[in-house]
Structure 1
C-alpha cells in the first residue's frame, strides 16, 4: 500500500526504555542475540547457530514494508497478498483488473514487474556502537543528531563499496544504547508471480481484519530477477504444506516495523492525549471522503481500492492502540514495568534521571508537533516533488552532511522509488491533497503563518486542483530529467508542484532543526542512559524495539479464551463456505464458487500462534522446528493491537495462512502447476 510522510510522522520513534525482561513467548529477537537458553528452558529445545544461519539467509525484506522468504532456488518469494496489492493495482487496467481477477501467469515470461519494490537479504550484522558513540561524544541537541547522522553515513558508505548489489543500513537499537550495521544483498527487479483474487485474500473485509476465526487466502508469490533472469539462490526454505499441530513450536522470521514498548510514561501520555486522537479523527474523515469518491464509478472504485485498504487497516491499528492506552489494566502493566526499572537504577552513577529529561523533551515536542506533522501535504506527487527538490540540494553536499535518505547508501533506493513507472490517479491525488491541506488549516488555524505559507489566499480544494492539474510529474521521464538535471533543473522548473515544494522545503528544514534540537537530540541522550539502566537492571535478557530489520520470535500453535470460550487455533477451507453470506464483504471469491465441488473442505486454512509480531511482519514465513515453511503470518488478533506497547501472552496471537491452504489453492482453485512443481512438495 502507499505510505505517506503524514502517516509515518504519527508514530514517534522509540527512544526510551521501561519494560522488564521478556516472559514466555515474548520478544522480537535479533539473530545475533537469539535467547537459545531461554527457549531451551521454555520448550526443551532451541535452534543452533547453523539452523539460525540457514533461516537468516532465506529471509527477505521487501522495501514496500513487508517481509517474505525465498522458497525455491529459482528466486521464488512467498509473502502476503496484501503485500502485493500495490503491485497488482499498478499493473491493472479497467480491462484487466488483477485485484478482482487474480493473477496466475502461464509462463515466467508473463511475470510482472513491481514498481518501487526491492527484495533484501541480510548477509552480515556488525556492532558499530563504539564508533557512533565516539562521534557523538558530549554533543547535545541538534549537534548530536548531525554528528550521529554524519558518522552513520560514513559507516554505511564504508560498509558497502558495491551499491549495485549491496545495501548498508545502520540501525539504532535500545534508543541509542546500541548501533548495528546491517549489510544486505539486494534485488531491485521484483516481479509478481502468483496472486489470488483480492476477495479470496481479504474475505470478511474490514469486519474480520484483526479478528479470528479467519478465512483468508492472504498469500502471494513474487520472484527476484537479476539481469533479466530469475535469481539463483543458495539458501531457501523448504515448502511444507502440512497441517499445523496444536502446541507445536513455531518461529516467525521477518522485519517487524516498529514497536514502542520501551517508551516512557510521558511518551505514552503524549500518544494517548495528542497524536492518537488526532490521527483517528482525521483518518476517519479521509476514509469517508474516499468511500464517497469511489462510489462515483467502477473505475474510481478500482483505482482507490489500495488506498482505502491501507487507510482502513491503519485506522484499525491506531484505534486499537488508543483503546489499549485507555485500558487501566494494560496501562498499569506498563507503569509497573517502568517503576521496576526506575527502582533498580534511578540516580545510579552514569544513569541520573533520564525519565525527567524525556519528560522535558516531550513537553517541548508538544509545541512543534502540529506544524511538523502538517507542513508537507499528503499525496504521491507531493512526495515526489519534495524528494526531487531535496535531492537536488542534498546530492551537492558531501555524503556525511546530507539528510537521511539522500546519503550514498540510500540514494539508489530513493532514486528507484522515485523513477519507477507506476500509475497516478489525478482524482485521488487531489482528494488526498485537499484533505491534508484542509486538516492543516483546521489544526493550525487560518491565521497561522504555516497555514498562510501552504495556502496563501487559496482554498484547499482550489490549490489542490491547480497543483495536481498543472503538474507533469506523473510522467517518469519528467521526474528523471529533473533528477538528472540537479539544482539547475529544479530552480528552472515551472511545474506547480516543484514550485510549491521549493516554497515549503525551507520551512520543513527549519522545523526539522527545531525538532532535532528540542526533541530528537535530547531523546537520543536520554535513550542511551535508559539503555544503560536497562542493561544494568536486566543484563542481556532483553530485546530491542522493532526497527523494520530482521528479527525472529518463537511461540507455538495455540488458541485463547475469548469471553470465557475457547477459540480453536485452526480454521478450515470449509469454514469459509459456512461463513459466506453472498453479500460484501462475506461473498465468496469467484474461484471458490467455481471450484466448490473440488475444494477439500477439511484442509487447514488459517491458524493462530503465540508468536510476538507487529506490522512489518506481514508475509513472514512461519517455520517449524525442522526449518520448513508451514505458513505465512498476515495479521494479529484484536488483542495484538496493544502489542505496540507490550505483549500479553495469554491473548496476543499471530494469524497465519497455512501452507496447506496455499498448496490446495495452487492445485485446485487458482491452478499453477509450474509453481506446484517448483515448490516440490510431495
Structure 2
C-alpha cells in the first residue's frame, strides 16, 4: 500500500528539485516561499505580492494581452521583448524610416511614438471566489447547464465585486474548473514606443536560432506608459504625462553565475501539464504533424518572396515570424515528448493512479475517468484534426480566406440580427481590413493559397470537405479566384461592400473568393464544430474530475500547480546549463564573441551592425563587461511558456538581471511535460540591454532614468539619475 502510494505520488507529482511550476503570486506563503529561500531567495513572499504595499507585482504588467513587460524607471519606462513590440515597430516603419532595419531611439518625451490600440494591464488584487462562482451548480445534471450557471455567476460577480471606477474585474478558472480567482486590474491605453535596436540585434539569429541554444539575441524594446494628470488610465492624449508606478525594478550590474537564484514573473499563456496519455499521443501522432506541414508550406512561399523584395520583407516580417514561431515550437515539442518518453511515463502515472483510486475506495467516483478519456479522444480525433485544418488554413495562414471569413460573419450578422447589425459590423470591419491590406501582397498570398488549399483538399477527412473542394484542379481554382475575386484588393473590396445588406450580399454571392470561404466555413460550422464542441465539453468535464482526484489524493504539500491561463504567475529556479545529448554540454551564458562567430555579412538573420562590430573590436563595453567579456544571453530552469515573452528575470533581492524571451528547443514540450533535465528558459542578460542602449545607441537619457545597483556590493551606481 505504501509502495503504491509512493509510486503514484512520485509519478504524478515529481518534485523537480524545487523547480518547475507556475504559481499564483497571492498564494506563495508556505511551501513555495520555503522552496524559494532554499534556492537562495532573500526576499519574502510579501515582497513579491502585497495588496497593501508596493511589491514586485506592481512593476509587471501584461503587455498588449499577449506578452509580459516590466517597469524600470519612476517615469513609467517599460521594457519588453523586441518580438513583442515588433508589430508596433513595423507599423512605424517605412522605406524612408525603416526602424526594423535601423532601430529607433527617442531622445525626449516628445519624440516617443503613440501606438493606438496597444495597452498594458496591471494586477491590483487577486481573490479566491470559487465558492461564489460554483454556487448553485452542484445539483445540475448536465455539463452544459453547469457551465451556463458558472458563466452567469461569473458575470454577476464581475459586475458587483468592489473596485474603483477605472478598474475592471476579471475572473479566471484554475485547476480545470476546481478553483476560480478574481483579478482586479488597471489597463493603460496610452503606450508609446521609446526605443528599439535594429532587427540585426533584436532579432539576431531570426528563425534559424529561434528555440535554440546557444543564443545571441538582444530581444528587447522600450515603451512608456502615459496616464492622465491623476496618474490613472486614459486614452491617448497630448495632455497625458508619464505614468508614476507603484513600484519599478532596480537593475543589477553584477550579472549572473551558475546556480544563482532566478525568479521569472509574468503571464504564461497556456499549458496542459495534466493531459492523459491518450491526448498527448494524439498531439504527437496526428495534430502537430498536420499543423507543422501547413505552416512549413506557407513559410517556404513567404521566405522566397521576402528574400527577393525588400518591400515584401517589411510587409511580411511580422507575419512570417508569427507563423514560424509555433511551427518550430511544435516540431521541438513533438521531438521532446518522444525523447523524454512522456507518453509512456504518463501511462505509468495512470496505472498508479488507478491503483491509488482503488486503494482509497474511490472507484465509483473516479474509476470511470481514464476509460472515458480513451473513448472520447478516439471519437473527437477526426473533428479535432478538421478543426486544426480549418483554423490553420481558412482562418490564419491564407489571407484571402481570412478576409473572406470575416465577411461570412457579416452575412451571418444580417441573417441572425438584421440590417442594423449588418451595417454596424460592416462599419467595424472596414478599418480592420484597411490595416490588413497595408501588409498584403496578392502574389504572395496567391502562392500560399495554392499550396495550402491543396493540403486542405487532400488532408481533411473527406466527410468534412466542402463539395467545392472535391476533385478540384488546384491551379485552375487558384487562378480563377486571384484573377476574379475582389478580396485581393482593398479598393475592390470597398466597392464590393457599398450598398445596403441585400446589395452587398448579392455581390458577395458572385465573388469566387467569398463563395469558397463561405463553403469552407459553412461545412466547418455545420459538420465539425457542433460535434467537436459536445465531445470537448465531455473531455473538459473529465479533465476537471481528473484534476479533482489528483488534488484530493495527494498530500497537502504536493507540488501541484495550476496550468497556465494568461494570468500572473511566478516561476523560480536557477541559472543552469544542461546536457541535451550524449557528449554535448551547454554552458549557461553566451557572450558577444558568439555573435561575431555567427556573423554573416548582409544575411538577413546573421548580419551585424557596423557600430556593434566596432565596439566589439575595441572591447568598448563600458560598465557592462564580465571579466573582459560582454554577456548576451543566459538560461535557467524557470518553467515558462508563450506569454512569458518579456517577463523580467529577477535576482534573489528583487533586482532585474534579465529579460525572458524563449525556451530551448529540446524543452519546448514543457507545456505538456516538464523535464528538469533539459527544460530551460532563455533570457537576455540585462547588461547587454544596457550596453546596447548606452554604448550602441548613445541613449544616455534612458540610462539616466534607471536605478542601477550592485546588490553584491550593496550600493547604487553614480550613473543612476532620474531624468527631470
Q: Deviations over 1:421-474 (max 9, x none)?
A: 573323355555555433322223788553538999982453356152255599
* Alignment of 1:674 onto 2:701: yes
Contact 2:315–2:439 (Cα < 8 Å) also in 1? no
Match of 1:599 in 2: 620
**Which residue number corresponds to residue 289 of structure 2?**
277
CA contact (8 A) 1:104 1:671 kept: no
Written as runs of structure 1 = structure 2, the 5 A alignment for 1:214-229 is 214-225=215-226, 226=234, 227-228=236-237, 229=240
Q: Report the counterpart of residue 541 of structure 2 in structure 1.
A: 525
Q: In the alignment, does 2:568 pair up with 1:571?
A: no
> Paired residue for 2:563, among 540, 545, 552?
545
Residue 170 of structure 1: how far off its partner (Å) = 2.8
Report SS of the residue matched to 1:301: helix
Deviations 1:488-540 (A, max 9, x none): 99879959688877776655544433222122x10221122112111112236
Cα separation, 1, equivalents of 2:405 and 2:143: 26
1:145, distance to aligned residue in structure 2 (A): 4.6
Q: CA deviation at 1:420?
A: 9.5
Written as runs of structure 1 = structure 2, the 5 A alignment for 1:276-355 is 276-327=288-339, 329-345=341-357, 347-348=362-363, 350-355=365-370
Q: Distance in 2 between matches of 1:678 and 1:211?
A: 33
Cα offset for 1:201? 2.0
Question: Secondary structure at 2:341's aligned position in 1?
Answer: helix
Shift of 1:160: 8.7
Q: State how far apart, in whole Å, the 2-side matches of 1:598 and 1:122 are.
A: 42
Q: 1-side partners of 2:57 and 2:601: how far apart?
A: 43
Select which of 645, 657, 661 maps to 2:688: 661
Offset, 1:183: 2.9
Q: 1:108 matched to which residue of 2?
A: 109
Q: Secondary structure at the match of 1:186?
A: strand
**Secondary structure, aligned partner of 2:293:** helix
Counterparts of 1:570 and 1:455, CA distance in 2: 55
Q: Is the 1:135–1:151 contact (alpha carbons within 8 Å) kept by the matching residues of 2?
A: no
Structure 1 residues 221 and 175: alpha-carbon distance in aligned structure 2, compared to 1, 3 A threshold = same
Between stretches 340-349 and 600-609, larger displacement belongs to: 340-349
Q: Aligned ranges for residues 137-152 of structure 1 at < 5 Å?
A: 137=138, 138-140=140-142, 142-152=144-154
Q: 1:185 aligns to what? A: 186
Provide the C-alpha distance between the structure 2 equivalents of 1:674 and 1:97, rounded to a whole number of angstroms.
23
Distance 2:159 2:405 in 1: 24
Work out whether residues 40 and 260 of structure 2, in 8 Å CA contact, stay in contact via their aligned partners in 1.
Answer: no
Distance in 2 between residues matched to 1:263 and 1:368, nearest whole Å: 18
Q: CA deviation at 1:651?
A: 2.4
The 1:645/1:449 distance shift into structure 2, 3 A limit, reads closer
**Residues 339, 395 of structure 1: CA spacing in aligned structure 2 closer, same or farther, 3 A cutoff?**
farther
1: distance between equivalents of 2:701 and 2:676? 41
C-alpha distance in 2 between matches for 1:392 and 1:56: 44
Which whole-Å CA distance do the structure 2 matches of 1:642 and 1:36 have between them? 27
The 5-angstrom pairing of residues 224-623 of structure 1 reads 224-225=225-226, 226=234, 227-228=236-237, 229=240, 230-327=242-339, 329-345=341-357, 347-348=362-363, 350-375=365-390, 377=394, 378=396, 379=398, 383=402, 386=405, 390=409, 418=432, 421=435, 423-427=438-442, 428-430=444-446, 432-444=448-460, 449-450=465-466, 452=468, 459-460=477-478, 462-463=480-481, 466-471=485-490, 508-510=524-526, 511-519=528-536, 521-538=537-554, 539=556, 541=558, 542-562=560-580, 563-582=582-601, 584=603, 585-596=605-616, 597=618, 599-600=620-621, 602-623=629-650
106-115 vs 612-621, which moves further: 106-115
The structure whose RCO (Cα within 8 Å, separation 6+) is larger is 1
Moved more, 487-496 or 349-358: 487-496
- What residue is the counterpart of 1:130 in the other structure? 131
Partner SS, residue 338 of structure 1: helix
Pairwise mapping of residues 12-161 of structure 1 onto structure 2 (< 5 A)? Answer: 19-24=12-17, 25-34=19-28, 35-43=32-40, 47-53=44-50, 54-63=55-64, 65-114=66-115, 116-134=117-135, 136-137=137-138, 138-140=140-142, 142-159=144-161
Contact 2:266 2:569 in 1 (8 A): yes
Distance 1:119 1:420 in 2: 25
**Change in 2 beyond 3 A, CA 1:432/1:30:** farther
Q: Deviation per CA, 1:115-143: give whole Å up to 9, x if none.
A: 54321111222323334434554343555
Bigger mean CA deviation after superposition, 608-617 or 112-121: 112-121
Task: Return the alpha-carbon distance in structure 2 between the equivalents of residues 146 and 394 of structure 1.
Answer: 23
Q: CA deviation at 1:106?
A: 2.4
Cα distance in structure 2, aligned partners of 1:322 and 1:674: 46
Contact conserved, 2:119 with 2:189, CA < 8 A, in 1? yes
CA separation in 2, counterparts of 1:334 and 1:523?
Answer: 17
SS of residue paired to 2:184: strand
Deviation at residue 29 of structure 1 after TM alignment: 0.9
Compared CA separation, residues 489 and 344, structure 1 to 2 (3 A): farther
The answer to whether the 8 A contact 2:340-2:675 is kept is no
Query: Which segment drifts farther, 387-396 or 344-353?
Result: 387-396
CA distance in 1, matches of 2:15, 2:432: 40
The 3 A distance-change label for structure 1 pair 56 and 275 is same
Can you give the 5+ residue segments of structure 2 that lack an aligned partner in the other structure? 1-10, 227-233, 418-424, 622-627, 709-716, 718-724
* Aligned residue number for residue 713 of structure 2: none
Matched residue count: 644
- C-alpha separation between the residues in 1 aligned to 2:575 and 2:304? 41
3-state secondary structure, aligned to 2:678: coil
Contact 1:579 1:586 in 2 (8 A): yes
Instruction: Name the counterpart of 2:720.
Output: none
Cα deviation for residue 581 of structure 1 reads: 4.3
Asked if 1:207 corresponds to 2:226, the answer is no
Q: Calculate the TM-score normalised by the size of structure 1.
A: 0.84
**For 2:458 and 2:347, how far apart are their aligned partners in 1?**
34
Q: Which moved more, 1:426-435 or 1:202-211?
A: 426-435
Given the two structures, how large is their TM-score scaled by the length of structure 2? 0.79
Q: CA deviation at 1:96?
A: 2.0
1:513 & 1:463 partners in 2: Cα distance? 29
> How big is the shift at 1:375?
3.7
**Residue matched to 1:10:** none
| Unpaired runs of at least 5, structure 1 | 1-17, 399-410
Matches of 1:462 and 1:148 in 2, distance apart? 49
Q: Is the 8 A contact 1:142 1:513 kept in 2?
A: no
Aligned position for 1:7: none
